[in-house]
Amino acid sequence: MDVELLEWADILVIAPLSANTLAKIAGGLCDDLLTSTVRAWNPMKKLVFAAPSMSPFTWKNPLTKEQCLCIVNLGITIIQPVKRRSGAEEYETGAMAEPSDISRYISGGQCDDLLSSIARGWDYSKPFFVAPSMDPSTWRNPFTQRHCVRIKNLGISVIPPASEKLEFFASSDEEGEDKTGAMPEPSEISYTVRISNQIYWS
């Protein structure tokens, strides 16, 4: 294992990620340079992305889904495969995403729907607000926090999520546990936007 490689690289991108390599990473094997690098990599400090590429039947296999979930839990972000023609007039999911799309995804500039397209073309000299809403574990994830820092650096104001009582986290003798992740109340969002706009236009 080349320690200098770990120290030199700021980000790790596995493209393509074959079913064989996926199984190795999920199982903790490290019998080549790539899997040894992944095994020694610290995804909590440096980002890791993987772009699967395999046959449609392999991609849809339950074992593949289980192994994908395993590496996601390890801190690896999966860039979803795309559809390619696999037979006469048939398009199936399994092919690796285009390199340009992978690059945009990693840089945080993908715009595959109306909202992200608006954000991509926005003039950030004007106010832009987002109010996150997700489950508590996702909000606490280091990758989420990094993404928040990244969009803040673009000029987007993040309205922090609220702490909400979630009954399914409670035991039989507890009312519930505070978990942060719920979207703030609309009135709070409106107040934050109104105050910021007053400052912006003053």
pLDDT by residue (tens digit) across 115-156? 777 777 788 788 899 999 888 877 887 778 878 887 888 788
| Section 101-107 average pLDDT | 81
**Res 195 pLDDT > 50:** yes
Tell me the C-alpha distance between 119 and 142, whole Å. Answer: 23
| Angle ∠(121,124,126) on CA atoms, nearest 5 | 115
pLDDT value for 130: 92
Domains in the chain, CATH or no CATH each: 3-104 (3.40.50.1950), 111-201 (3.40.50.1950)
pLDDT value for 92: 84
What is the tens place of the pLDDT at every residue in 52-80? 999 999 999 999 999 999 998 888 889 99
Mean pLDDT of the chain: 82
Tell me the C-alpha distance between 38 and 23, whole Å. Answer: 13
Q: Please name which of 157, 161, 160, 166 lies closest in space to residue 183, comparing C-alpha atoms.
A: 161
* The model's pTM: 0.57
| Section 26-36 average pLDDT | 93
Instruction: Find out whether 73 and 67 touch, Cβ atoms under 8 Å.
Output: no
Instruction: Find out whether 139 and 161 touch, Cβ atoms under 8 Å.
Output: yes
pLDDT value for 142: 75
Residues 6+ apart with CB under 8 A from 110: 101, 104, 116
